[in-house]
Structure 1
């Protein structure tokens, strides 16, 4: 059954995948978490690998993320009760910096992190420094992720890091940065803990920073 779900998922067949998942949890009484861990996440892992290898593109990543999201919200989460879907690896606050309205890349990273087992608090786009700082104070996340697609707003990342330092919060959270405008050398220059060149790498970096196996 797990292989059938995985195969259908990788064909991006929404109706058939949902039918199989419903059959697994309703008729066969399979633990919904087992469906997530043994079918859905492995399928998304394949999507990530194919994306990394250039066999899949942005469209496939977005569609698979949407399919995963719908299965979780329509079938898995109602079975488990809100907030119990998946074994949480840690909490990530994520957002696109002030002055930047691009959200596709950030949304893909958020989806991939959720699939990997992280709780993700998405602050959206055009997020001012103070909102990032407030979120770190409020949620006490393990990781803060910031995205910048435009070179004109890249300094906003440094502003956030400086603000966290002045509030005495910098040492309480790991910072991962990414986006088209960001380079690994820039990440090191501003004192970020990690850099993700794409969604797959971002998940890998987050796991590594928390001492988790890939």
Structure 2
């Protein structure tokens, strides 16, 4: 049954996905197996995006489908899957209210079995610091689509350092204009080119 879910998600068949997930849960299928099939489907979506077959709107739709599936089956996963998930704090830096890129990263990280703490957009440095302290996350993802907000990224990295967490937390950044030069300017550890890359990068940083 897992293969059917993979293909449904890969084809963005939202109603069919939800119907199939509900049917499998009612039939007693292991929720971890269902979740795994959905993750595989998201991987296929990522491959289609990288190949130019899907666009950002398709990624957004797949993320919405995956979130709905997650909301449906996570109560069944709490005692198993969630206890093993690595935590990641993600947000868009202060002064930037763009959320599309951040939401895509959150969806893909969730699909990659990370426990994502999404702190939102236009986030002050200390909010990121508090989220890191409360969650114990070892990776911080900062989204920045405005070149005018590079200083906000730099200030957030500095705030993490001032809180004594820099040695414990890896910081990755992303956004349209972000490159290695911005990594060096802000003091971050690495940057991701897109949502799929962010998942790969997060696993490497872990």
Q: 2:108·2:199 contact (CA, 8 Å) conserved in 1?
A: yes
Q: Any conservation in 2 of the 1:72–1:85 contact (CA below 8 Å)? A: no
- CA drift of 1:82 comes to 4.9
Selected match of 2:201 from 196, 202, 205: 205
* Structure 1 residues 83 and 56, CA gap change in structure 2 (3 angstroms): farther
Gaps of 5+ in 2: none
Question: What's the offset of the Cα at 1:33?
Answer: 0.6
* Deviation of the 1:192 alpha carbon: 1.4
- Whether the 8 Å contact between 2:98 and 2:121 is mirrored in structure 1 is yes
**Per-residue CA distance 1:85-127 (angstroms, 9 max, x = gap):** 5564411111111110000100100111011000111110000
Structure 2 counterparts to residues 109-120 of structure 1, below 5 A: 109-120=105-116
Q: Taking structure 1 as the reference length, what is the TM-score of the superposition?
A: 0.90
Partner of 2:134: 138
* RMSD across aligned positions (CA): 1.7
Please list the CA deviations of residues 24-58 of structure 1 after superposition, one character each: whole Å capped at 9, or x if unmatched. Answer: 2212x210111111x21111000001111211111
Secondary structure class of the residue paired with 1:206: helix
Q: Give the Cα separation in 2 of the matches to 1:197 and 1:106.
A: 12
The alignment's TM-score, normalised by the length of structure 2, stands at 0.93
Unaligned runs of 5+ in 1: none
